[in-house]
Structure 1
Amino acid sequence: MTGNLCHYKLKIHLFGAISSPGCASFGLKHAADDGESSFGKEAADFIRNEFYVDDGLTSKPNAEDAIELIKNSTNLCSSAGLNLCKIMSNSREVLESVPQLSVSPSVQCLNPKSDPLPVERALVVDWLVESDCLCFRIDSKVTPVTRRGILSAVSSVYDPIGLVAPVILEGKKILQALCKDCYDWDEPIPETFRVKWEKWQKDLCHLVNLRVDRCYKPVNFGNIKHVELHHFSDASESGYGQCTYLRLVNDCGKAHCALVIGKARVAPLKHVTIPRLELTAAVVSARMSNLVKTELKLKNATEFFWVDSMVVLGYIQNESKRFNVFVANRVQTIHNFSSPSSWHHVPTKANPSDDASRGLQADQLNAGCRWLNGPEFLWCEGKFVLSKA
């Protein structure tokens, strides 16, 4: 107790401390900044922008570009003492170019030239590498039929881009009804809710058969001449939502449309009029526009926003009248992210976001459904042009 104090200082960051995730992210981005001059901007941007925690995901148009990116990124990480490993690709040529110890353990014992490629997990979403499709694995764990158990089951379906958002909405509506009736977390629910819940759980099992192409551009589609983003929004008494589609047109005028992102949310418990809910859905659509353009790095894409409410169109395109605070704030947000001239009317029957506001059963969600492929008028050949009388 009478000796001199000794000062000790950690030379490493603790694993599991509150600051550890931030330190790890900072270190990874710092390594990209330091190695950019030696290994190229493309590899540095991949390390900086395409990593979520310790998973890096990106796409390249051909195997040569992918091999070059892997090589430069691996060398960049090695220069900072980091080991880039568990590399996976749907291209066998890319896998053969990667050292055996650096590829994913699931393919280390396979013959990349003949054996079928396995199923991988990409941010908890199943990736069928062989067919390059995304699918869903439904957790069959039995949960108690209470408000707590229902919340656990609804939250267990991880869907970051909203591919099955209309199906999950049905489970959220049951949960909201329990909250509205003030049921306790562990209180058994009444028989009427139990029947709906068991039906939804049984229906959810159909999602295991769903396959969604990972790539927006089909194989052998050719050169892309036009790129368009179409945003749809809608609301109902039970929910509101939006969906965004990427429409590609090739040299021959052939069009292809694919779902980029979708949102489906339950309506608030406090009563809100349908026009106000429609306006709220339009705000979500405008914000998703900014997100999609940033993440897909689209600079010259033409944007179209679609709503089936003439009241919302009147709000957005009227720049002279003063609105109340609720409407004014949301109209201003829409104007910040989009131009009023890019908003248009679509009939309710042709609005795919109608599925996001009302919900769908899992067996209705298939490869040919409107939610995943967009409305029929987006599949017409040629560049999309609006004509006004």
Structure 2
Amino acid sequence: MNIKEVRQYFPILDQEVNGNPLVYLDSAATSQKPLPVIETIEKYYKEYNSNVHRGVHTLGTKATDAYEGAREKVRKFINAKSMEEVIFTRGTTTSINTIAASYGREQVKEGDEIVITYMEHHSNIIPWQQLAKQTGATLKYIPMQKDGTLTLEDVRKTVTPQTKIVSVMLVSNVLGTINPIKDITKIAHENGAIMVVDGAQGVPHLKVDVQDLDCDFLAFSGHKMCGPTGIGVLYGKKQLLENMEPVEFGGEMIDFVGLYESTWKELPWKFEGGTPIIAGAIGLGAAIDFLEQVGLEEIEKYEHHLAAYALEKMGEIEGIEIYGPKQAEKRAGLVTFNIGDVHPHDVATVLDAEGIAVRAGHHCAQPLMKWLDVSATARASFYLYNTEEDIDKLVQGLMKTKEFFSDVF
């Protein structure tokens, strides 16, 4: 499928914003949705809207089959051993909080260590901060190199036999850095720790095989991978999940309820209390079908090309500062930058007037902003529907930004 064919599946891109053709460069925040996903969700609500796992009527059976069918699609997509290892959540944030609230509170104690990095999203920092406060554990950070990468030597120095949890993002949502998760996992396991992977920015763009990575947990969100908002996945190794307690209690997740004691359903349902996110899961299944139709390997290759093109073209702009690895092969399809002393919000405002959507702010990564010694940055992020022409328009927009704020250059 070529880029022209891909873009035909995204009707939202065929519009004007402020009198200019839309250039959407904010997929790291949320991706656009292809027609098959939109139509699949619409079909659920129009033709077989029903709750799952409960009724024996026709609509309920059809909804349950579609919901559990989506779980199997996720299992294959990440190569989990069993559907029991795939839990539907509201997103990456909920998934990581579930790990911290269940596994963390049960396994981590005073004197233990939790290891993360400076580049983590707030969703992969705050749950561990809270766990450390609650248990008396120590939160440690793996140092970063000047280009925003990690070295295995620094990982080995930071992770010790006292470490119980290592939690690292697969891809940085600010720097674009692709972290060596498989090697970090090996170091964590050598020290008796478990490995948690924040896959929010990685799973949509790279082929992820949890058995190859050997990670213990993986969290990711549907809305960043052409799926709907409000649906995510927590993958966990079966033996770990079986020994964990649920963090939400109520309907759906119970086996037997007595007056004073209750028992839980088997995996994965014991972690899915209440009416689940049925339409979201079915929509995520459709998104996986679409991504596999295009091909994850092709998407990764194409995004590396766009990243290389963006680094080259944006690097020619005088006064621009680009953060993260300079080699496209070391980063995913996004470029975070500042231009002169112009505030990123002003940059984004000028670009928006040209129909160009980028992100500006701290990107839910304030510790990383401090490490970079900036208060905020602008970010252009690419996906399978973006083109070189989009990047050319971004460069033109940045040149107009420089002209508009010429007094600060």
TM-score of the pair, normalised by structure 2: 0.25
TM-score of the pair, normalised by structure 1: 0.26
Determine which structure has greater relative contact order: mean sequence separation of CA pairs < 8 Å that are 6+ residues apart, divided by chain length. Answer: 2
Larger Cα-atom Rg: 1
